[in-house]
Amino acid sequence: MKKIIPFFLFIALLFSCATKDDVVYFNGMDSADNSIGLDSYSPTYHIDDELVIIVNAMDPEAARPFNKSSVSISLDTQDARGRERIQTYRVDPDGNINFPVLGMLKIAGLNRAQATKMLQDKLSDYIKNPIVDIETVNYRITVLGEVNRPGTFTATNERITLIEAISLAGDLTIYGERENVLVIQDYDGKKTYTRVNLKSDNLFESPVYYLSQNDVVYVEPNKTRARNSAIGAQTGVVLSSLGLLISMTALVVTILNNQN
């Protein structure tokens, strides 16, 4: 019996033990001195981006022709008043927006600072010291696969990281493959596919560390999930229960032998 006990314990450990490195992020991060300097990142506008652009000036009347009027929206047919919503500019397939008075303006490929300066320069011919504010209102990211809350999320600003997107989705499940996360991007109709290792500090140097509008993040299942799927969920429960039973049996036998 004493020879069998170590065997039982070994089998039990196979069901109960896991390596920390399998689930911990940023294993390659050795020092806090490794500053990468990503503060300069600024997303650019793309086709189908929906923008709110507001022009202000010292003389509000002078800026009025360059602002779209608000529209009333109501989801309640009994309420005729509705609520006010500022009309937006959608970047067309040619990368342009149709701006009041100024006409068609090429904005795709520009970041917020560049687009703001371009508008201010053009508006200076009409109003003194124009102030331009631009906001993207359909900045959404989709996270799918082995995460706790898969879905599509609206970013609160125009700079969201891969880590923040995963956080919005409730983090990876224990079955998520951390070394091979897929990021799918669409740049004006051309899709790109990038693989990312969340366990490496090289993540922070990845071109997809900062996500773009409409990016899709897919976390594929790891080998454990694949094996469980192959043998069935019920079989997995049976094996786990068997491992627990073996551990308890071995413990009882050990206690009895010690008493003898």
32 pLDDT band, cuts 50/70/90, is very low
Residue type, 76: D
**Quick one: pLDDT band at residue 36, thresholds 50, 70, 90?**
very low
- More confident site: 223 or 26: 223
Whole-prediction pTM: 0.65
Structure confidence at residue 82 as a pLDDT band (50, 70, 90): very low
| pLDDT, mean over the chain | 80
pLDDT higher than 90, residue 24? no
Convert 141-176 to b/e letters by CB count within 10 Å (16 or more is b). Answer: bbbbbbbeeeeebebeebebbbbbbbebbeebeebb
Q: Is the pLDDT of residue 159 over 50?
A: yes
Pairing relation of β-strands 210-211 and 160-161?
A: antiparallel
Quote the pLDDT of residue 254.
Answer: 75
Is 33 a residue whose pLDDT tops 50?
A: no
Query: Is 81 in a helix, a strand, or coil?
Result: coil
Share of residues in the chain with pLDDT > 70 (%): 72
- pLDDT tens-digit profile of 204-216? 889 899 998 889 9
Q: Residue 147 — pLDDT band, cuts 50, 70, 90?
A: very high
- Identify the sign of the CA torsion 141, 145, 151, 157: negative
pLDDT of residue 187: 76
Q: What is the pLDDT of residue 249?
A: 80
pLDDT category of residue 148 using cuts at 50, 70 and 90: very high
> What mean pLDDT comes out for the span 245-259?
76
Cβ 50 vs Cβ 90: under 8 Å: yes
- In the chain, the percentage of residues whose pLDDT exceeds 90 is 46
pLDDT reported for residue 52: 93
What's residue 64's pLDDT? 93
State the fold for domain 50-136. wza like fold (3.30.1950)
Name the pLDDT band for 230 (thresholds 50, 70, 90): low
Q: Look at residue 239 in the predicted model and tell me its pLDDT.
A: 63
Question: What is the CA angle 97-98-103, rounded to 5?
Answer: 125
* 174 pLDDT higher than 80: yes
pLDDT of residue 100: 94
Q: 47-61, 103-117, 183-197: lowest mean pLDDT where?
A: 183-197
Q: Give the residue with greater pLDDT, 207 vs 17.
A: 207
Class of domain 35-41+139-221: alpha beta
* Identity of residue 36: I
- The whole-number average pLDDT for the span 97-109 is 95
